[in-house]
């Protein structure tokens, strides 16, 4: 197990947790760094077998090595979650190597911050495909198995940008508002099958994802804070359903 006093090259401090997810299979998208890596690490420490994916094969390999050194059972599959063929291969390899996916964390996302009228159609497509369409595509592949088993957790990593607006945020906010709507409708569609669909909506997190000029990083949310919110969701009592977590820093950075 990784020593809590050591920090990984990804800037993540491992969290301790019990083995409450022993032998359960989790799939985390966009998990080569930042929030996705922290979530994968947390689920691994709780006993889950974890599949991780990313478009960056090099960083994905590094992430898998870090998780593996901590004794975790990890499968790393390079994949572009905006492509249905990549997702199908990812799901097939995960089930063959680890078993059926019981926990899906749709974390992959990109940012774009500029006035909407100055953005190109390609900018729109890139952000909406990654932040919204990918969640639809991955879930569409994984959900039928969860329905057959009549259980599962799907956690979509959103943003407080789904709750408010800000200058230069038009396309990004559109993707996250859409994601929140999709999450809530999926929750209603699937709760009758024993499947919980939840959203975690953090404010700005101290990762490489977005610029932090003028902010005190020590006061900002950390990737581990988002991972902890996911822990809360996957360890809730079977009769309860946490549909949404809004995550803010205690002090404004």
Q: Which residues are catalytic?
A: 172
In angstroms, the first-to-last Cα distance of the chain is 32
Estimate to the nearest angstrom the gap between the alpha carbon of 9 and the chain centroid.
20
Q: At what angle do helices 34-45 and 223-234 cross, to 10 degrees?
A: 40
Q: What is the 3-state secondary structure (H, E, C) of the chain?
A: CCCCCCCCCCCCCCCCCCCCCCCCEEEECCCCCHHHHHHHHHHHHCCCEEEEEECCHHHHHHHHHHHHHCCCCEEEEECCCCCHHHHHHHHHHHHHHCCCCCEEEECCCCCCCCCHHHCCHHHHHHHHHHHHHHHHHHHHHHHHHHHHHCCEEEEEECCHHHCCCCCCCHHHHHHHHHHHHHHHHHHHHHHHHCEEEEEEEECCECCCCCCCCCCCHHHCECHHHHHHHHHHHHCCCCCCCCCEEEECCCCCC
Spatial distance between the Cα atoms of 219 and 232, rounded to a whole number of angstroms: 22
């Amino acid at each position: 197990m990784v020593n809590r006093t050591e920090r990984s090259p990804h800037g993540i401090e491992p969290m301790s947790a019990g083995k409450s997810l022993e032998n359960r299979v989790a799939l985390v998208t966009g998990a080569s760094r930042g929030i996705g890596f922290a979530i994968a690490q947390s689920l691994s420490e709780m006993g889950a077998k974890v599949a991780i994916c990313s478009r960056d094969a090099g960083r994905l390999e590094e992430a898998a090595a870090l998780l593996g050194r901590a004794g975790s059972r990890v499968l790393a599959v390079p994949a572009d979650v905006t492509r249905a063929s990549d997702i199908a291969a990812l799901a097939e390899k995960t089930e063959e190597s680890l078993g059926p996916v019981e926990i899906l964390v749709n974390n992959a996302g990109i940012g774009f911050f500029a006035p909407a009228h100055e953005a190109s159609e390609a900018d729109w497509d890139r952000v909406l495909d990654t932040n919204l369409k990918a969640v639809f595509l991955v879930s569409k592949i994984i959900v039928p198995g969860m329905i057959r088993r009549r259980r599962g957790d799907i956690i979509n990593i959103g943003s407080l940008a789904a709750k408010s607006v800000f200058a230069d945020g038009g396309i990004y906010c559109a993707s996250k508002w859409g994601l929140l709507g999709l999450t809530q409708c999926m929750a209603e569609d699937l709760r009758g099958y024993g499947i919980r669909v939840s959203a975690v909506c953090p404010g700005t997190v101290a990762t490489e994802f977005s610029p932090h000029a003028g902010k005190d990083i020590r006061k900002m949310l950390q990737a581990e804070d988002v991972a902890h919110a996911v822990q809360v969701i996957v360890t809730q009592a079977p009769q309860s359903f946490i549909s949404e977590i809004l995550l803010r820093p205690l002090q404004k950075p």
